Structure 1
Amino acid sequence: MSSHLSPIPQQPQSTMSSDLSEFQENKYRLPTNVKPLHYDLAFWTDLKSLEFGGLANIDLDILKETSAIVLNCADTLSVTEASIHCAALKTNQVQAAQIVIQENLGRVTLNFLASLRAGSKAQIKLKYNAKLSGSMTGYYKSAWKNGDHTEYYALTQFQPIDARAAFPCWDEPLLKATWTITMISRSETVNISNMAVESEALHDPDSTVDTALTDFLSTLPRDIQWKITKFQESPPMSSYLVAFANGPLAYLEKSIVMPLSGRTVPLRVYATPDIIEQGEFCLEVTAKVLPLYEQIFDIEYPLPKLDIMAAHDFDIGAMENWGLITGRTRVILLDPKRADVLSRKMVARTVSHEVAHMWFGNITTMEWWDYLYLNEGFASMVGEVIMIDRLFPEWEVKSSFVNTHFYHALSVDAKRSSHPIEVECPDANFINQIFDGLSYSKAAAVLRMLSEYVGEEQFLKGVSVYLKSHLYGSSVTRDLWAGISAETGQDIPRLMNDWVSKIGFPLITVSETSNGIHVRQDRFLNDGTPETEENKTIWNVPLRILTVENDGQVLVDTKTFKLNAETVGFYRVRYTPERLSKIATEAVKPNSVFSLSDRIGLMYDVAALTDAGLAKLSTLLTLTNIWRNEQNCEYHPFSSPFFVKIYPPCVDIVWSSVFNNMGIILTAFWEHPQIVDSLRAFIRTLYAPLVARLGYEFPDGEAVDIVQLRKVAVTGAALGRDESVAQELRRRFADYLKTGNDTGIPSNLRLAIYIAAVRYGGREEFDALIKIIENPAKSASKSAAITAIGKLEDLDLAEELFLYILTGARDQDVVDFCQSLAVNPLFFRRVAQFFKDNYDVFVKRFGTNSMLKFLVTVCFGNLSTKEDLVADKDTSRYTMALAQVLETIRSRIVYIERSSQDLSQWLTEWEQGSKL
């Protein structure tokens, strides 16, 4: 009980009860004897004492006769009173309840003396209180610097199962209800929630006005001026989408007119006052994308407003709470004067992704977490590809998708430890583990494949049919297929079921004869050929064959062709070496028919085949060498009266994929110094000429393609340890240290400059980056500094950094710090040992959020020897992540043993050839 509240009579509590026997059939799902209809929730929040409490009145349908009601409630809540009102009770209409806590299951059982009859209505009332923790789950506190003072605000993060940490509820997505929320807070603070404010007034403790909150308000201290904010009733929604926040928040606002309803909808971006001006771009994107979704889905946006809140402490990237999107500052805010293209893309993708959920996930919600991909895969594909392509066509997001979601999904799904997109979630501990590259990226990739197969317009119309059929309800996979089938007339389940219900994806092997081409599919695994039992799925594969005619002849060996045109099919293709050479040669011709996505996909296919031992690693390097001079076209980079011969549009994305592949090889062979030195020399010859041509300056009005190409060129040359580039980057940071003026650090080169500073510098550079990290007003600079600081090569400073992670870093940043160190070969094993040594600290620190599984992935993901396979900790909360990491280590061991001689020989021959 909070120290400043008047005493509340305690109800008897216990940890076991004979009335629980009927609920033991499924200990992970709530019983179905009652159904919630409406929640009337009142919360008080005190940001000085860092406490909160509440009163929950919940209307129920009694579906089966019962004398016990079970609902979700975290053990961090202290439930002090519970009662039920039911007109059908034979005795007194109000009964007190015996409160039974079911520890480790997140439940509370309310036992009653009299039975509740089936078909009757009831209302339960619960009072509770709790501390505001820094857990980043439930209702929690976030810290910010107001001048020299640390202050707090509070906000919610409920997905997947943490609404129960803020109030007792039926915390399952299927059990939708309507919600009325009232917030009671200190008068100087701001309250926001899913719905618009209905009324707001200061509380007069001497008022005799009779309200439902009179008794509850009487327990609050009288020496504080409280404010009561009541919000409008919501449509039916799942508990994990409920959201509210309280604190010293400021906002930017604009209004838009929606195309279907003609309603004027206000949009706001909230943040603390010191950073709120960085919300303009987010507001601009929201104003553009919200009406587009209403048009595409042909369903009105049902809420009276849409708010987006940037938080200093946030577990995941962002969260689609209905009407109140929340997320990290770096994915919502940016400095409009200094933001690089990557930051703009991140904010735009985040906003579009989360706004997509307002329909796909919030209006229509997955029935259970098995179907998480219905929410996340769709939002990733439509929100980050289709919508962003319409808003920012110059970003070439379809090709970027191949370089991000598509590539990541194939990498994860090539493991035996992968799982189907639609994956059974038997218990609460497992749910957090499926928020991964399969539920998001693979789901997005296969939905995009379907969209391209049936046509984007038909696909979106089918989605509209699906949504309209399940408005304010819940759904499963077959419901989505039914909607798209109805619109397209195709048997979508036959096409798609294996893609979502089976693990893995196919490798299409192409062979050629005089009569044509022959294709065979097998399951692709990153460690080679699957066993018979692993190779039984036959996927329906859209081949999408692109051919290049040669004077009308039809013989295959005189024509160039490529399977998986535009790289939209979720599979890999293996060609004969001769055919691969022909495709590669065609791809670098001026005005080649092979698109940017084709080239990226081809490169990643070859890289994956080398990983699996189905092609030599030298094949990838040869392909890279062929494409190094991909510059044979005229391109107009920005407004100028002259055409300047630079590079074809968006070739920067190809160079980014080259960068990714070179980085992977360097990481794998980090214990082979001769290979590393030779490979760095090769990388320098790829990127240094680009830097020499493009320079370091970013003139206003320059095309996005050239901006990104210059950025990747400098970053790539730095990866190769080019001395002249390193000197220039160090000089720019030295000027910043001397003057305090960072105008010489372009936002697009910020990360590269920070890395060079800490890699070649010492104490002064290290301290400067820590200072940047601790300045929350510049989230992009902070993010770059965290990514860079682990690249240091001073072992003593590294130990200081490990200590800082334990004692000084924000919880949300710990994974990023460890990731920064974990990609530095000097600390591959040190960061793994750091996790082991502080395992108990991390388990306690991240006991309720998703950080633990990500820590396992980043801390162990780059190891590559048999000794690295040892694991002696309780792994129940991250079994999937650990299995994937261990498989990655095993595969890398085989990869290194198989490829080292081939790689060394190719580099030797290349070095000899380059000297001729």
Structure 2
Amino acid sequence: MTGIMHSYDTFQPTHYDIFIDINRGTKQISGKSVIDGEATQKDIFIQQKNMEIKSVTADGVSVDFQVDNEKEAINITLPKAGKTTLAIEYKAPLTDSMMGIYPSYYEVDGVKKEIIGTQFETTFARQAFPSVDEPEAKAKFDLAIKFDEQEGETVLSNMPEVKTENGVHYFDTTVRMSTYLIAFAFGDLQSKITTTKSGVKVGVFATKAHKANELDFALDIAKRAIEFYEDFYQTPYPLPHSWQLALPDFSAGAMENWGLVTYREAYLTLDPDNTSLDTKQLVATVITHELAHQWFGDLVTMKWWDDLWLNESFANMMEYVSVDAIEPDWKIWEMFQTSDVPAALQRDATDGVQSVHVNVEDPAEIDALFDSAIVYAKGARMLVMMRALVGDKALRKGLKNYFKAHQYNNAKGNDLWNAVGDAAGMDVASIMNTWLEQPGYPVVNAKVVDGKLTLTQQQFFIGAGKDVGRQWKIPLNSNYEVAPTIMGDKELVLGDYTKLRKESGKPFRVNVGNNSHFIVKYDDTLLQDILDNQSDLDAISQLQLLQDLRLLAEGKQISYASIVPLLPKFADSHSNVVNATLYRVANDLKKFVTPDSDEEKQLQKLFDQLSSKEVARLGWTKKSDESNDDQLTRPYVVNAALYAKNPKAILAAHELFEGNSSDLSAISADVRPLVLRNEVKNFGNEALFDNLLDEYRKSSDASYKQDLCTALTATPDPKLIAKLISKFEDAQTIKPQDLRAWYRGVLANDEGQSAAWDWIRNDWQWLDDTVGGDMEFTTYITVTAMVFHTPNRLAEFKEFFEPKLNTPGMTREISMDIKIVETRVALIEDEKDAVNAAVLQIVK
């Protein structure tokens, strides 16, 4: 953090008195920010963005100031350094950017309405009130809000409202906190409220477009999560309430504002009678993630954004720890293994990826840190490794001491390692920093060399990568006692293999449990031994075997064709995680065929063979006695049958559609997207298309809306594709927050890819103007790179994005995604003949 001065270096606030007047009609904000603090010098700066500064006083006396919009600053010259009270009057626009203070739009019974909410992370509090808008600048806040109030509206903030005078709502003084965690909202809301064992009020708030019972699930999870965290952290929840608010327009998934957590509607409200189990699990983990932050991030906050992982990685791990405790039957760690783990392993294998800890200064670059596969998923996996090493007893003791030492203040990564290491009696920092500070991860090569069982580590790359000799301290988790807990060397010789194999009575394996962030390449002898004893492997071990082989094939360390004959060996599994991984591999084979070719027909036969037995066992509708595994597996296998163009599957889906034609939302949610998509693809016409699009506009059920998006973007009709793309910029139909899913859906549709790609290239400026200030913006590049796999598309991708390489916040994403598409194109060219021959060998 050298070279750039922070506002906090010049002025250190202790207390804010903030008045904000919001006029929804004129879309204008006016206000006054009064800040008590310590000026370290006479020349200071306070942050603002897009504001008109009316006046600045220091201790009641007008002072000179200049607004520097490029640096988002107000430069102020004070009469003297020392204790000072600044008062800044300002005006600002109320924008539709989903940043700062902004309106959310929705309809109830055809009537258009709006509520006002906030999003201040990362650097958008400065759009709402002049402030030292940096995580380290913690202070107490007194907030007063005035707005064009209508009867029956609710107003919420971090703390309880204490009084209303002359239309101004005053809130209780906050605890010491960072600006990015301030939040407020107002509008015509409904709520449900309960109280935890320790007396914390917990509430869920949403617009009246939702049915009342759509708030019940979130209320139950939130209450039990706070009770769990108070016990696990051994630290009380420090505020009087915890409100959860669903905003109709919300760029991120959710935001951990202290005491007023905000969410996309899709991640808070759900129909308790017809929502799939995986959606319930997802919503639960989002809620528990944000509530984990109330301690880890809010009570103790990273000192600067380079330690963002300290907030996000930890909350990402804790969401699973807490859901596992409050809903043990869900086996939620399996979801971690099928979502976070493969995302981290895939992304982290591309040369040029960021490390979990990254130095950053430019505000435009801060949002680029939010690489979900690294800061969230890899970081969480890193912490899962640590938890497995030290155990829960030491972890909880360390966390209690960490919170006690740093509460209401800031911390850095080493503060956490030291607290946990002291509790565990272990040098945690020296182990974890090899994962925190370095990008990438190792492949551990396990082989028999001259009769000796030998392990080596080397950085694993998918695509071209420069090996600079990185080494990791690897928690091996081997099933052979001779293997050490930690492998820190490049090579490790464990002893005579024949003797060790005989003594153990089982095949040699490492990373048992798949909790450490590396993959394993077994030589032919060791791999065959594992495959010969496949029936002895638990579900996670089978997942891991397929996962590692797939990645090794992506990295060209083995042939993709060698995996194909293994797939039928896993097809009869009743485990959700095995099926999730099996079909991840099978779906990856689609890139080796061209649409409607003989090769694709052979691949469809393979999908039919893989899925037929399980489709027959599970059927299309839930059974009263079926397991969670069965519920979660059904979508994988029926989706495979539909890709295979199995006539029985197509008819079964059509009959489900016909049987629910009067209320399509009543189709069982676990297969509903597949039923709707099947109808559009195989029985579709313009009337059906228009009906489903109208359903999308009218529905407030986020899960159902996502299913309709899945269906509509799959249309093969060029005329309807054009019609759909014409709605991309119509916010009355597709909200900007939801647009990426629609774009990706059409792009992944072979019949729609050219139209979607033309749209984003032609209307990039519109997209930038609409969602460009948002941390999600670069993911439009990411999803495009996920789909493209031909030489022509690669050339077009480079032609369009390379001129944007120097755009702040986009450089790393563009560079990495070019590599990702290049690697995929080269892999297909090298492997397609062998892969298709291997498929033919199975199905002929």
Q: Is this a same-fold pair by TM over 0.5?
A: yes
Equivalent residue, structure 2, for 1:396: 331
CA distance in 2, matches of 1:803, 1:845: 16
CA displacement, residues 703-756 of structure 1 (integer Å, 9 cap, x when unaligned):
21221122322122223332221222123223444x34643x111111111211
Match of 1:210 in 2: none
CA deviation after TM superposition for structure 1 residue 830, in Å: 3.6
1:366-395 deviations in whole A, cap 9, x for unaligned? 111111111100011112x21111112222
Distance 1:325 1:668 in 2: 44
SS at structure 1 position matched to 2:204: strand
Q: Which of the residues 810, 829, 834 maps onto 1:897?
A: 829
1: CA distance, partners of 2:54 / 2:605? 69
Task: With the length of structure 2 as denominator, give the TM-score of the two structures.
Answer: 0.93
Deviation at 1:193, TM superposition (A): 0.4
Q: 2:708 — aligned with what?
A: 785
Tell me what 1:686 maps to.
Answer: 610
CA distance in 1, matches of 2:133, 2:592: 44
Equivalent residue runs for 1:71-470 within 5 Å: 71-75=46-50, 77-85=51-59, 94-112=60-78, 115-117=79-81, 120-185=82-147, 186-188=149-151, 189-201=153-165, 203=166, 227-258=167-198, 264-275=199-210, 277=212, 278-383=214-319, 385-436=320-371, 437-470=373-406
Structure 2 letter corresponding to 1:676: E
Contiguous gaps of at least 5 residues in structure 2: 483-496
Q: Kindly provide the amino acid, as one letter, of the partner of residue 510 in structure 1.
A: A
- Deviation track 1:523-577 (CA, whole Å, cap 9, x = no partner) reads 000126x54xx24111011111125999997448974121100101100100123
Mapped partners of 1:575, 1:556: distance in 2: 20
Measure how far apart 1:668 and its partner are: 5.0
Question: Match for residue 730 of structure 1?
Answer: 654
Take 2:461 and 2:814, find their aligned partners in 1: how far apart are those partners?
18
Q: One-letter code of the match for 2:781?
A: V
- Structure 1 residues not aligned, in runs of 5+: 1-23, 86-93, 204-226, 259-263, 631-646
* 1:665-696 deviation digits (Å, cap 9, x = unpaired): 21354468333221121011111221112112
Call closer, same or farther: CA 1:506–1:545 in 2, change over 3 Å. Answer: same
Determine the structure 2 residue equivalent to 1:763.
686
CA apart distance, 1:317 = 0.2
User: Which of these residues, 431, 437, 443, is aligned with residue 495 of structure 1?
Assistant: 431
Q: TM-score, normalised by structure 1?
A: 0.86
Using the TM superposition, give the Cα deviation of residue 145 of structure 1 relative to its aligned residue in structure 2, in angstroms: 0.5
Q: In structure 1, how many angstroms separate the alpha carbons of the residues matched to 2:569 and 2:664?
A: 42
Distance 1:767 1:735 in 2: 20
| Greater shift in the superposed pair: 858-867 or 437-446 | 858-867
Cα displacement string for residues 160-182 of structure 1 (whole angstroms, at most 9, x for unaligned residues): 11111111111110111111111
1:599 to 542, 553, 557: 542
Code of the aligned partner of 1:831: A
Aligned length, in residue pairs:
816
Task: Tell me how far apart the structure 2 counterparts of residues 548 and 459 of structure 1 sit (CA, whole Å).
Answer: 25
Shift in alpha-carbon separation, 1:459–1:516, aligned structure 2, 3 A: farther
Q: Report the residue type matching 2:589 in the other structure.
A: I
Letter in 1 for 2:698: N
Give deviations 1:818-856, integer Å, cap 9, x for gaps: 121222233344433321111111111113212320111
Alignment equivalent of 2:600, drawn from 673, 676, 686: 676
Deviations 1:99-119 (A, max 9, x none): 42212222222345xx213xx
Partners of 2:193 and 2:203 within 8 A in 1: yes
Q: Distance in 2 between matches of 1:535 and 1:670?
A: 38
**CA shift digits 1:48-67 (9 cap, x unpaired):** 33333222111111223x0x
User: 2: CA distance between counterparts of 1:306 and 1:79?
Assistant: 34
For 1:603-752, list aligned pairs within 5 A: 603-630=546-573, 647=574, 651-667=575-591, 669-670=593-594, 673-700=597-624, 702-737=626-661, 739-740=662-663, 742-743=665-666, 745-752=667-674
Code of the residue aligned with 2:524 in structure 1: it is: P
Please give the alpha-carbon distance, in whole angstroms, between the structure 1 residues aligned to 2:419 and 2:593: 49
Corresponding residue number in structure 1 for 2:492: none
Describe the SS at the equivalent of 1:698: coil
1:812 matched to 2:737? The reply is yes
- Partner deviation per Cα, 1:108-134 (whole Å, 9 max, x = no partner): 22345xx213xx321111222233221
**Greater Cα offset, 558-567 or 665-674:** 665-674
User: Within 2, Cα distance between the matches of 1:439 and 1:787?
Assistant: 28
Compared CA separation, residues 535 and 395, structure 1 to 2 (3 A): farther
Residue of structure 1 aligned with 2:479, choices 529, 540, 546: 546
- Of 857, 860, 874, the residue aligned with 2:804 is 874
Name the % identity.
Answer: 22
Q: Check the 8 A contact 2:48/2:129 in 1, yes or no.
A: yes
Bigger mean CA offset, 846-855 vs 553-562: 553-562
Moved more, 162-171 or 714-723: 714-723
Q: 2:29 maps to which residue?
A: 52
- In the alignment, the residues of structure 1 paired with residue 500 and residue 140 of structure 2 have an alpha-carbon distance, to the nearest angstrom, of 66
RMSD of Structure 2 on Structure 1 (CA): 2.2
Shift of 1:295: 1.0
- Aligned partner letter, 1:584: L
CA distance in 2, matches of 1:712, 1:671: 21
CA distance in 2, matches of 1:196, 1:838: 44
Deviation at 1:911, TM superposition (A): 2.1
Whether the 8 Å CA contact 1:47–1:153 is kept in 2: the answer is: no
Q: Secondary structure of the residue that 2:789 maps to in structure 1?
A: coil
Output the CA distance in 1 between the equivalents of 2:500 and 2:768. 66
Q: Distance in 2 between matches of 1:864 and 1:59?
A: 57
The alpha-carbon deviation at position 147 of structure 1 amounts to 2.1
Look up the match of 2:454: 518
Q: Structure 1 residues 31, 234: closer, same or farther in 2, change over 3 A? A: closer
**Structure 1 segment 63-78 matched on structure 2, within 5 A:** 63-64=40-41, 66=42, 68-75=43-50, 77-78=51-52
**For residues 207-259 of structure 1, what are the alpha-carbon distances to aligned partners after superposition, in whole Å with 9 as ceiling and x for unaligned?**
xxxxxxxxxxxxxxxxxxxx32211111111111000011111211111122x
SS of the residue corresponding to residue 567 of structure 1 reads coil
Give the equivalent residue in structure 2 for 1:572.
519
Q: Distance in 2 between matches of 1:281 and 1:414?
A: 38
2-structure distance, mates of 1:473, 1:719: 54
What is the 5 A alignment of 1:471-482?
471-482=407-418
**1:328–1:670 distance in 2 versus 1, CA, 3 Å:** farther
State the secondary structure of the residue aligned to 1:852.
Answer: coil
Distance in 1 between the 2:754 and 2:474 partners?
A: 41
Check the 8 A contact 1:548/1:560 in 2, yes or no. Answer: no
